[in-house]
Amino acid sequence: MNAVPLVSAHNVHKSFGHNQVLKGINLEVQAGEVVVILGPSGSGKSTFLRCINHLETMDQGAILVDGTQIGYALRGTHLHKVKPGVLARQRSEIGMVFQQFNLYPHLTVLQNIVEAPIGVHGRSKTEAEAQAFTLLETVGLRDKAHTYPRQLSGGQQQRVAIARALAIKPKLMLFDEPTSALDPELVGEVLATMRSLADQGLTMIVVTHEISFAKEAADRVVFMDGGVVVEEGAPREVLENPSHPRTRAFLSRFIERV
């Protein structure tokens, strides 16, 4: 592992009104590492993930991605918010997959995937489409390139969303409960795609309730509750022998799957 982490979060706080969601999160993620964040609903997992790429703004603290605090620029000793165009460039190497697929319904699968590489990264149509077909091959959907999202199952749509996120050639992938909106029989195909990405060495931070994925694909498991990191460690250590009562209570609900 490298000495300098790809993602470094220090004392991250976030409130919505009087509801303090994040209460001082500290976390580092090395390049090539797969980190799975577990925790009950309302623990702050998704909010923290969204703070990484500045979809939510922090109230306090810092999150650096490859040495840059997304959404800000350092001038002298003070951080200043950057303009939207600069923010877009800062985000351009961070892919994100959401609970909902967020595909453009009026565009084909192929058009959904090539939009950002062409429109944001300035790649040629030929190059972008060639890469898109390669990515569709990776997620097992090459034959769906010219179909529309409404013609796909939920699992297929989420795999297209993963291909779209990969099309910008990200250095970091964020997954926010990517299987929570899927019917149970469709979850496996999405998790298999994610496992393949993990095997390829892509840096991933995954918020999920899929304990089996955490056990099989994660390098490290982080358990959050009440806006703080309660414990973290190797998957076997956290999932099979958790040290904190809150972690044990949470995992007891999934014991048959651990």
Q: What is the band of 92 on the pLDDT scale with cuts at 50, 70, 90?
A: confident
What pLDDT shows up at residue 185? 85
Residue 17 φ/ψ region, left for φ over 0, alpha for ψ in the -120 to 50 degree band, beta for the rest: left
Question: In whole numbers, what is the pLDDT of the chain averaged over residues?
Answer: 92
Cα-Cα-Cα-Cα dihedral of 35, 235, 41, 209, to 10°? 90
Contacts with 58 (C-beta within 8 Å, 6 or more apart), sequence order: 12, 13, 14, 22, 51
pLDDT, tens digit (0-9, with 9 covering 90-100), for 121-156:
889 999 999 999 999 999 999 999 999 999 999 999
Tokens of 218: 């994660």
pLDDT, tens digit (0-9, with 9 covering 90-100), for 196-232:
999 999 999 999 999 999 999 999 999 999 999 999 9
User: What is the DSSP-derived secondary structure letter of residue 222?
Assistant: E
Percent of the chain with pLDDT over 70: 98
What pLDDT shows up at residue 2? 53
CB 91, CB 54: distance < 8 Å: yes
What pLDDT shows up at residue 257? 46
Using alpha carbons only, how large is the chain's radius of gyration in Å? Answer: 18
What pLDDT shows up at residue 232? 97
Mean pLDDT, rounded, for 227-248: 95
Residue with tokens 């099309």: 167
What pLDDT shows up at residue 258? 42
The Cα 147–Cα 145 span in angstroms is 6
How remote is the C-alpha of 192 from its chain's centroid? 16
Q: What is the band of 255 on the pLDDT scale with cuts at 50, 70, 90?
A: low
